[in-house]
Structure formats: C-alpha cells, structure tokens
A and B are shown apart, each in its own frame.
Chain A
Amino acid sequence: MRLEQVALAWAMKNRVRELREAHGWSQGALAEHLDVSRQTINAIETGKYDPSLPLAFKLARLFKQRIESMFDPDEGR
C-alpha cells in the first residue's frame, strides 16, 4: 500500500469542499482567506491531509460552523 493510500485510509472526512462551493469560492479564494496555499486546501478537501487544530478552527470560524460538524474522525477510517 502506498503512503498516500495509507494517509487516505486514516484521513478524516470533512465538509470543506461542500461549504466552499456553497459560498461560491474557488480553492484559491478560500486559500487566500486562510492565508494558506491552494495545495493545502486541495489536500484537506481530498482527505490527503488533516489540518492542524488552529487551521481547523479557522475553517470552522470562516464558515460559521462547529468544528465537529465539519470534520468527522470516524467516517474516514
């Protein structure tokens, strides 16, 4: 099993893409709001990378959501 597949198997499910699209933002626009790279947003959305707590809170605040409603630790495993 490749490293990315292992990472994907353990990644949390999240609603970042759904919420971003609901706001009509591109990945680049969301990245600009959070001052991160577009790659980071793409990696979070595709489940290749789990954000740190501070970034997860920033995302939740930006979308006015509770953090647990955005990220589900059980669903991805």
Chain B
Amino acid sequence: MDKMNEWPKWQRWGVWLSSWVLYLGSFAVLLSFESWVMRGLALLALCVGLVLLTYSSKAVLNERMRKVDRWYVRVLLPTFVVYMVLMLYVWPMYSRIEVPWLEVIVVLLPLLPLAVIVWAMMRYMARCDELERRQQLDAIGIAAAVVSLVSFALGLLAATKLIVVNGALVLLMIFPALCIVYGLACAWSKWRWRGR
C-alpha cells in the first residue's frame, strides 16, 4: 500500500471515495447502535477507513507515504480507538459515581488521548518539510480565523438574546470545529499546490 501513488488514477480515486464512505458510515453506525458487537465492528471499520483515507489522500495527490506519515498513523490510530472507547463506555459512567474526585477523573479522562493526539500533531508538523509546514500554517490561520469569527458572532447573538445557545455544547464544539476547518483548509491548500 506504500506504493499507492503509483496505482492508476481511477483506482486511487476509487479507494479515496470508498474510504470516505467507510469512514463516515462506520461513524454513523457507531453512534446509532449500542450493542458491543456492532460498535466493535464499526470501530474496526472506522480504523480501516482512517488508514485507507490517509494513504489514498496522499496517493490522489501523487504523493507517497513517508516515514513521518506512517509514524503519524501508527500513533494516531490506537489513540483514536482509546478515545472512542473512553467516550462511549467510560465517560457515560460519571453519573453512577458518587465520589466527587473520581467523578472529575472519569469526566476528564478523554483528555488523555486528546493530549496525545495534539502532541502527535505537533510532532508531525515539526517533521513535515518546509512547504508542508507553510501549508499547515495557512490552514491553522484559516481555522483560527473562521472559528473565532463564528464563535464571536454566536456570542453577540446570544448576548442580545436573539438566539439561545447551550454554553457547554459550544465549548465542546470549539475543538472539533477547529479540527474540521483546519482539515478542510489543509486539503484545499494541498490541492492548490498539487502540481502535476
């Protein structure tokens, strides 16, 4: 699979599209079912989708997977699984815990894999080449600008009571929103510089 960039164009695009379907589909299954078997299968499919997506995203741009990319996937994948397991099975238990300090630990436990993911992202960026770092910087700048503007707009509307927002939900959405906009901006930037 390391040589996916040498596959015919239609195969690379086919894998890329299929991996998106697998990734999003397994996410939907994961959130819709409560049985261990279905969630386990969905998590497995999610991991396969994530790996295929990483490899094919490089391949559609005629890029090979480098050592740093493989390292990133190796760190990210198990950490992501730990995060999902914690969020699905451990975090909901907080309401059944009666010891306050233990409750705080259980509620904050998903922060551990998230911290590893942030560390891996920082290390990955530091090991990228100079043009890739520039692309990352552009993407981070765009993500920060978009999320700041949207949250400020929401804040203005909420302060004047024109809309009602759930404060906890808004706080929880900041990190995913940053990640999503950063990912989209990164993809746009890589596409812009793709060359032939």
Query: Footprint of B on A, CB under 8 Å?
Result: 27-28, 31-32, 35-40, 42-43, 46, 48-49, 51-52, 55
Contact A43 B193, beta carbon cutoff 8 Å: yes
From B129, B132, B196, name the one whose CB has the most chain A CB atoms within 10 angstroms: B129
Interface of A is mostly: helix
A36 proximity list for chain B (CB < 8 A): 129-131
Chain A residue, CB-CB nearest to B134: A49
| B151-196 contacts to A (CB < 8 Å) | 190, 193-196
**Whose C-beta in chain B lies nearest to the C-beta of A39?**
B193
Q: List 11 A-B contacts (CB under 8 A).
A: A31-B64, A36-B131, A37-B129, A38-B61, A39-B194, A40-B132, A42-B193, A43-B195, A49-B134, A52-B130, A55-B130
B56 to chain A, nearest CB (A): 16
What B residues does A49 contact at CB under 8 A?
A: 131, 134, 193
Are the C-beta atoms of B63 and A46 separated by less than 8 Å?
A: no
Q: When the two chains form their complex, are residues B193 and A38 in contact, meaning their CB atoms are under 8 A apart?
A: no
B residues whose Cβ falls under 8 Å from a Cβ of A: 5, 61-64, 66-67, 129-132, 134, 190, 193-196
CB pair A38 B129 closer than 8 Å: no
B131 touches A38 (CB 8 A): no
With a cutoff of 8 Å between Cβ atoms, the chain A residues found around residue B196 in the complex are 42
* Given known A28-B5, A46-B195, A51-B130, contact A39–B64 (CB-CB < 8 A): no
